[in-house]
Each structure stands twice: as C-alpha cells, then as structure tokens.
C-alpha cells in the first residue's frame, strides 16, 4: 500500500503551481474573467507546454497516457489556482474519444494544444439525469441529422469540437436509444449563445437545427451510447472531485491564515474555541473528502463497472458535503470580508458551490449509490 | 499510489483468517455478533487462546513477547478479528500500562509484570479520572505520601478514582497520583501500580444507561503501596500518562468493527418492513445508511493513509480517527435502534446476559439494540472527549 506521489507526479504538480503563482494569480485571473474572451490563449499555451494537455491522452496519439491518479494531481493544482480555462471541458470531451477508441487525429490535436473541446450533455428538463435526452439524431443517407438544444455547456463557445448526446430511439428518459457524436462546433445549423457563470467560467447554450453529420461522427453503435456516456461522465466527476480538493485546500489555508492574523478583543480570533472547533471540523471534512477523491481515482479504471459507479458516486456525494461545509464556514469565519467579491476565498467558495451542482449533485449521487445492486445485496 | 496490500500482507491476512476460523469458539463469536454482554471469563478465555498463538500483544516488540508486526499487519489483524467477531483484547494491560512499563519501568518491573500481562494472569484497570478531573486530567487530587519505615519505604494513598472500567474484576490498577502539591499541576504527578487487594481499597459500581455494570468508583483510604511499584521517577508521571494516551488511540477508529456492524445493520433493516417493502428500500432510511456507509469508506482510506506513514507512534491525526470513528460507531447503533423501532422497548437483561436462549418478545436481533445505542454514547466521551480531540487538532495540527 502506498499513498505517496511518484517523483514525476510531484514535479508536475510543482511546475503547475509555479506557473499559477507567476502567471495566473488572483489579479491576472480577474482580468481574464473580465475580458471579452473570458479565457486566456497564453494560459492555454502554457498548459500545453507544461504537458497538462498531453497528460491524459494515450501515447499513440502523442500524449503521456496519464492515469486518473495523475489527473488527480493536475486537477488539484488547477483547483488550488482557480484556473478557469477550458481544461476540464476539453479533457472530459476527449475522454469520450479515448473510451470510444476513435478520432485519433482529434486526440492528437488535444495533446498538442491545438484543439479545445466541450461535452454538450445537459438539457433544460434533465436536471442531473444524463439519460434524459430530447435532442434527436435521425439517420439519413448522408449520416445523421441532429435537432435540439443543449444547455449550460461549459466552454461550449470556445470549443472547436463538441461531444453531443442525442436520442436515436426510445422515450425521453430511456437509457436505451442514446447515441454519442463528435462534431465540428461550427457546423451549419449550430448556434451558440455564450454567457458567464457565477464562478468565473464561460458556458453556452447550443441549438442544433437540422445539423447534418457524416456517419463517422457516431462514436459507438447507434442507440447504445449509454455505457459510454456514464463512463465518460464518471471520469468527469473524478476530475471535479480532485479539483474540489485543491480548492478546499486553498480556502482552508486562507481561512486558517485569517484566523491567525485577524485581531478582535485584543487577540487573534483563532484563540476563540468556537472558531477553533469549526476549523477542526473543516479539517476533518477535508481529510475525509481527500480520501474519497483518492479512492474514486483508483477505482475509476475498475473492470467492475458497478464498483466504479458506486465509488465515484460515493466520492461526489462526500465531497459535495465537504465542499458545502468548508465553503460556507470559510465565508463565515472571514466575517464581512467573506461576503465581498474581493478575496480569493470568496471565489473559491463560488467554485466549490458550482462543482457541487455539476455532473450530479450530492443528492443525485447518493441516490445513485443506493441504486447500485451492491447496496442492498451486501445486506 | 497503490491501495492494495502486497502479496506477503495478503498471505498474512489469509493465515489470520484461517486461524480465527479454527480457533474462535462459536459461543464467543455468537455473543459478539449478537451484541450480548461479555463477562470476565469470556475476555480471559479469548486472551489466553490468542496468548497461546503469540498474538496477544500486536503492538509490542518481539523482545517482550510481542508480535513485532508493522502498522499494516496490526491493521489487518484487527480487521480480521473484527470481521470474525472476536471479543476484544482489553487495552488496560496490553495496550496501556505495558508500553509505559516497557518505556519507563525498571528491569524488575518489566520481568514481573510483562509476562503476567501477556498471559492475562493479572486483570488491569486504569486509575486516571477523578470526580473533579475529567478532561482536565492533570488536576487530579488523589494523594500519595512517601513514608519511611523499617519494613521498607512505601506510599500512603488517599483519594478517589472514577469511571474505572471493569475494576470489579481487577487485580491491579495503574494510577496517576499527586506526590507534590507545591508545583505546577503537571509537575507533581506520579505513576503508581497498585494491587487491588491492598487493604483500604473499596470498589463501588456505577450502573450505566444500559443497566450494565461496566464502570466503577474506586476509593483509596490509607492504602500502603511499596515504592517498588513506582514507575520511573517521582513527579514525572504526567510524561508517562501522555505517552500512554498516545498508545490508547491506535485502533480507536475501529473501522473493521464498523464494517461488520454495517453489514448487520443492512441485513437487519432489509428484514424490517415499511410501506409494505423492506426498510432498506425506504428512500429516507436508505439515504441515512448510505451517508454513513460513505463516511466509513472515507474513514477506511483515511486510516490507511495514516498507517502507510508507519511512524510507529500515532501523531495528532489519531484525534481525527477517534472523532470520526466514534461518530460512525454511534450512528450505526442509532440506525440499528431505529430499524428495530418499537422492538427497541422491551428490556431483557437475562437474554443479554446469556441466561435465556431467546429474548422475551422473540426478536433476538432487536433485543440488544437499544442497550447498544445507550451504551455507545460513551464513545464520544471516553479516551479524551471528542471536544478535547478537537483541541488537539487545533493546537497540534492547525497551530491555533
């Protein structure tokens, strides 16, 4: 048993951290958020040069074949630095290609940093249900025609290529009949409406109006996309869990520092036991969350899909609980400053809150954990 | 990063598992798995079985008859014992006083006491808490005055200890006593071993919420203790006491036992009915179980993270394990009692004591559950209350 990072992993983390400290600090980030683009091309170049984009891509496509544990390290650092670039969106979308074993040229472009991607999976009525899909995919002589609307697609407007879930057959909430496609985000019939998210990201609603795709756009057998959709999103959840650990570490450190420096009644407020015990609770939440993020990363590649689903959902549920507690308490302990937009801690709180609501919230994943046959079979 | 045991550890686990299958008596296993009361002879019997195998003192070095196992092996052993349903090895001798004797005792004390602890020849109890000294342990008042006499120097001990677990069976007690009142409270404490048969000692039961006799008050009235029973130096007892408390917290998370109890909880809840379906299918109840199960999954990894550092002595992170472990244990008993519902009400001491084969109202699983719940409220209080543990985290880890 070994919980240590490898030397390569530590070096990767250090390099990312140094880059964040130098070129992606709080002020620089603020400018990026306020800019028209909402993302930073130079930051993207830096991420590519650091190897962060090549890391998850298979060696055969010019990557480093990084594991989920390697990605845990990256996402923690990006979380700590509150990096709002289309990294998560791109890596998540690329995972679908990787799992499908198709479109190697796109993976090569991701590895080299030429291509940004996004996964257009959400729909307005779906809430957290990935299988709840009204967007249709009908087959014709030239391939497939897509119609529908995807909502809150993270970095959907920046992406050059999109992964899209659509329905080939069945009722709106059936897990059978789902197809997955990869397509050019500028294809005829696609319109994208971009907006800011409350945690500083960019997102888009994307309308597909008679979008004609070639047959090669289909990722797995028509109508049989559900296992791929679930597996890809479990990868995404694992990345978000890791990111949340980084954000929680940062907000915890900022709060601890504040407790040691902020004076009231002639002493640092960290001398008050009621605040000390709150910090002790936050510490325990963070450590329990860290354990689950690690477990999820290890079990992600489990050959037993139920084991993967069960662990990933357990992690998301546990980390969601920790993120909410730590975020809210950090704001409370910062007092009036905590509710301003001026401190990094406030932005960390917003990011943690949005992570909890992304790719299934705590209740969603608790229900998914319970729904796995093993929950009752173990009894 | 690798969360798997290596092949040597796995074969060790198999060896322990098959040993327990052969050597754990069925009646003891039944008592443990069914949450019945354990008696003195149950503890002693299991202790002596393990002693024969050489597996009693998992935390001791081999030179004193311990196993010399790594933290990982100790964890595996504890997991397997929990899984099988063994009675516990009581900590007072093996895990508490013995490490102090090894570290600070003289040769004669080591030679006499350690083999007797290994073999369970003496039943030990712990004389720490006093009516006025709970979390503020260093404030103890029990006095020991050194007296010179012709028959040999001795201490005269006067005072009272409390919450003394299973002192009604004890042959020996290790005590914190005050030998100097004119100094800072931590500096006037000594560590004494006292024979419970010495004249002047009175043991009075304290009956707990579950009506079981588990703890006691111990009164000392001019009790003569030979100076040979002093551990280390006079007035250095607080150092030894803190050393002991570090050892006490090693397996405090009790993850193995919690995993076994989670299985019991799920099995039992699945047999109960709500809305014409299994209670475990009820979304409200199931979500409580799921939250608990996930907390336990997390704690298991947290424990393994601590163990994999294998520094030999538990650091302040043991406080985290104590808090989370006891919260989980308490929540398990709470959900078990909820599952039993109205069947929690009948109180059947004869059944709990093993005097009747079946419980008075017929649900043998349910009969002990309310008692179990009430009994386990102690866990967040003993061994340094969970609030004290938070103080330790605050000071030792967070530096506040």
Q: What is the pLDDT of residue B311?
A: 62
Q: What is the pLDDT of residue B367?
A: 96
Q: Which residue of B has its CA nearest to A272?
A: B400
CB-neighbour burial class of residue A198 (10 A; exposed 0-12, middle 13-18, buried 19+)? exposed
Cβ–Cβ pairs < 8 A, chains A and B: 125
- Tell me what percent of the residues of chain B surpass a pLDDT of 90: 90
Q: What pLDDT digit, counting tens, does each position of B55-89 carry? A: 999 999 999 999 999 888 999 999 999 999 999 99
What is the DSSP track for B261-313? HHHHHHHHHHHSEETTEEGGGSHHHHHHHHHHHHHHHHHHHHHHHHHHH--SS
Q: What is the pLDDT of residue A378?
A: 64
Return the CA Rg of chain B. 22
Phi, psi of A377 (to 5 degrees): -65, -30
Q: Which residue of A has its CA nearest to B7?
A: A1
Interface contact flag, B399 A295, Cβ < 8 Å = no
Residues B321-327: what's their mean pLDDT? 96
Q: What is the pLDDT of residue B252?
A: 78
What's the rounded Cα separation, in Å, for the pair A98 and A88?
15
Picking from A298, A314, A376, the nearest residue to B294 by CB comes out as A314
Q: Which of the listed CATH numbers 3.40.50.300, 3.30.70.260, 2.40.110.10, 3.40.190.10 matches domain B124-240?
A: 2.40.110.10
CATH architecture assignment, domain A226-377: Up-down Bundle (1.20)
Position B248 confidence tier, pLDDT thresholds 50, 70, 90: low
- Domain range summary for chain A, segments of one domain joined by +: 7-115, 119-223, 226-377
Of A288, A326, A333, A361, which to mutate for an interface test with B (greatest number of B Cβ within 10 Å)?
A288
Return the CATH class of domain B252-398: mainly alpha
Shortest Cα distance, chain B CAs vs residue A321, angstroms: 10
Q: Which residues of A touch B76 (CB under 8 A)?
A: none
CATH superfamily to which A119-223 belongs: Butyryl-CoA Dehydrogenase, subunit A, domain 2 (2.40.110.10)
Q: Which of A105, A118, A117, A144 is nearest to A222 (CA)?
A: A144
Low-confidence spans in chain A with pLDDT less than 50: none
Three-class SS of residue B179? coil
- CB of A145 closer than 8 Å to CB of A122: no
The model carries a pTM of 0.95
Instruction: Say yes or no to pLDDT of B148 above 60.
Output: yes
Q: Which residue of A has its CA nearest to B387?
A: A277
List CB contacts of A351: < 8 A, sequence separation 6 or more: A79, A82, A199, A200, A247
Q: Which of A206, A93, A113 is nearest to A156 (CA)?
A: A206
Chain-centroid distance, C-alpha A5? 22
What's the rounded Cα separation, in Å, for the pair B272 and B269?
5
Lowest mean pLDDT of A18-27, A286-295, B153-162, B312-321, name the range: B312-321
Q: What is the pLDDT of residue A379?
A: 57
Q: What is the pLDDT of residue B249?
A: 58
Position B1 confidence tier, pLDDT thresholds 50, 70, 90: confident
Complex ipTM: 0.95
Picking from B3, B266, B390, the nearest residue to A379 by CB comes out as B266
Lowest mean pLDDT of A245-249, B158-162, B219-223, B318-322, name the range: B318-322
Interface contact flag, A276 B287, Cβ < 8 Å = no
Residues B218-240: what's their mean pLDDT? 97
Shortest Cα distance, chain B CAs vs residue A271, angstroms: 7
- Domain range summary for chain B, segments of one domain joined by +: 7-89, 124-240, 252-398
What's the rounded Cα separation, in Å, for the pair A219 and B61?
60
What is the DSSP track for B112-165? HHHHHHHTT-S-EEEE--BTTBSS-GGG---EEEEE--TT--EEEEEEEE-S-T
Structure-token match 């993020």, residue found: A293
Q: What is the pLDDT of residue B362?
A: 83
Q: Which residue of B has its CA nearest to A269?
A: B400
Instruction: Say yes or no to pLDDT of B246 above 80.
Output: no
Q: What is the pLDDT of residue B310?
A: 62
Residues B43-60: what's their mean pLDDT? 96
The domain over range A7-115 is classified in CATH as 2.60.120.20: no
Q: What is the pLDDT of residue B244?
A: 85
Interface contact flag, A295 B298, Cβ < 8 Å = yes
Interface contact flag, A292 B5, Cβ < 8 Å = no
Q: Which of B46, B382, B151, B115 is nearest to B245 (CA)?
A: B382
Instruction: Say yes or no to pLDDT of B241 above 60.
Output: yes
Picking from A270, A298, A318, the nearest residue to B3 by CB comes out as A298
Q: What is the pLDDT of residue A152?
A: 98
Instruction: Say yes or no to pLDDT of B243 above 90.
Output: no
Q: What is the pLDDT of residue B71?
A: 87
Beta carbons within 10 angstroms of residue B273's beta carbon? 11
Q: What is the pLDDT of residue B149?
A: 84
């Amino acid at each position: 048993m070994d919980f240590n990072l490898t030397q390569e992993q530590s070096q990767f983390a250090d390099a990312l951290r140094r880059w964040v400290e130098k070129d992606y600090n709080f002020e620089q980030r603020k400018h990026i958020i306020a800019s028209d683009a909402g993302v930073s091309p130079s930051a993207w170049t830096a991420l590519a040069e650091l190897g962060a984009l090549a890391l998850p891509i298979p060696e055969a496509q010019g990557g480093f074949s990084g594991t989920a544990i390697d990605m845990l390290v990256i996402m923690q650092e990006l979380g700590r630095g509150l990096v709002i670039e289309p990294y998560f969106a791109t890596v998540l979308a690329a995972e679908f290609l990787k799992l499908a074993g198709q479109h190697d040229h796109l993976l090569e472009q991701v590895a080299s940093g030429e291509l940004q991607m996004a996964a257009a999976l959400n729909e307005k009525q779906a809430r957290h249900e990935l299988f709840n899909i009204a967007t249709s995919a009908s087959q014709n002589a030239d391939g497939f025609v897509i119609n529908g609307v995807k909502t809150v697609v993270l970095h959907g407007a920046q992406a050059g290529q999109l992964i899209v879930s659509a329905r080939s057959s069945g009722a709106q909430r059936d897990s059978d009949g789902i197809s997955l496609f990869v397509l050019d985000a500028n294809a005829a019939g696609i319109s994208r409406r971009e907006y800011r998210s409350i945690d500083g990201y960019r997102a888009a609603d994307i309308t597909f109006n008679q979008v004609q795709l070639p047959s090669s756009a289909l990722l797995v057998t028509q109508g049989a996309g559900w296992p791929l959709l679930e597996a890809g999103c479990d990868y995404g959840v694992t990345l978000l869990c890791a990111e949340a650990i980084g954000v929680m570490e940062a907000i915890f450190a900022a709060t601890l520092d504040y407790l040691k420096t902020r004076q009231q009644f002639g002493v640092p407020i960290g001398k008050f036991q009621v605040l000390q015990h709150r910090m002790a609770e936050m510490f325990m939440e963070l450590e329990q969350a860290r354990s689950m993020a690690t477990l999820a990363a290890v079990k992600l590649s489990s050959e037993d899909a139920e084991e993967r689903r069960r662990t990933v959902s357990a992690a998301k549920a546990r980390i969601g609980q920790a993120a909410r507690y730590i975020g809210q308490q950090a704001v409370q302990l910062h007092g009036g400053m905590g509710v301003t937009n001026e401190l990094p801690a406030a932005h960390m709180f917003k990011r943690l809150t949005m992570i909890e609501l992304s790719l299934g919230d705590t209740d969603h994943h608790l229900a998914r954990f319970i729904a796995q046959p093993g929950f009752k079979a173990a009894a | 990063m690798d969360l798997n045991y290596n092949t040597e550890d796995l074969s060790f686990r198999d060896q322990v598992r098959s040993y327990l299958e052969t050597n754990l008596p069925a009646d003891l296993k039944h008592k443990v798995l069914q949450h019945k009361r354990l008696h003195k002879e149950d503890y002693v019997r299991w202790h002596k079985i393990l002693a024969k195998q050489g597996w009693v003192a998992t935390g001791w070095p081999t030179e004193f008859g311990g196993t010399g196992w790594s933290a990982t092996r100790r964890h595996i052993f504890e997991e397997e014992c929990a899984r099988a349903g063994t009675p516990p090895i009581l900590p007072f001798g093996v895990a508490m006083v013995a490490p102090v004797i090894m570290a600070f005792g003289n040769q004669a004390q080591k030679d006499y006491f350690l083999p007797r602890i290994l073999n369970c020849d003496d039943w030990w109890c712990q004389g720490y808490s006093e009516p006025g000294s709970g979390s503020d342990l260093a404030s103890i008042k029990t006095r020991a005055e050194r007296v010179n006499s012709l028959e040999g120097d001795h201490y005269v001990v006067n005072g009272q200890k409390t919450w003394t677990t299973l002192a009604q069976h004890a042959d020996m007690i290790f005590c914190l006593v005050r030998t100097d009142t004119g100094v800072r409270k931590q500096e006037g404490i000594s560590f004494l071993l006292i024979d419970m048969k010495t004249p002047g000692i009175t043991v009075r039961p304290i009956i707990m919420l579950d009506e079981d006799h588990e703890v006691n008050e111990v009164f000392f009235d001019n009790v003569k203790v030979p100076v040979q029973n002093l551990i280390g130096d006079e007035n250095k007892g607080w150092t030894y006491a803190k050393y002991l408390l570090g050892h006490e917290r090693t397996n405090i998370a009790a993850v193995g036992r919690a995993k076994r109890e989670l299985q019991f909880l799920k099995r039992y809840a699945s047999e109960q009915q709500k809305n014409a379906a299994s209670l475990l299918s009820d979304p409200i109840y199931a979500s409580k179980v799921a939250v608990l199960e996930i907390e336990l999954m997390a704690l298991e990894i947290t424990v393994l993270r601590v163990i994999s550092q294998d520094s030999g002595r538990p650091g302040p992170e043991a406080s985290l394990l104590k808090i989370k472990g006891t919260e989980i244990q308490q929540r398990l008993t709470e959900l078990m009692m909820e599952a039993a519902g109205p069947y929690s009400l009948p109180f059947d001491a004869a059944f709990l004591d093993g005097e009747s084969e079946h419980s008075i109202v017929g649900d043998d699983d349910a009969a002990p559950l309310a008692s179990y719940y009430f009994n386990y409220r102690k866990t967040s209080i003993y061994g340094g209350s969970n609030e004290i543990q938070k103080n330790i985290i605050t000071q030792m880890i967070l530096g506040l």
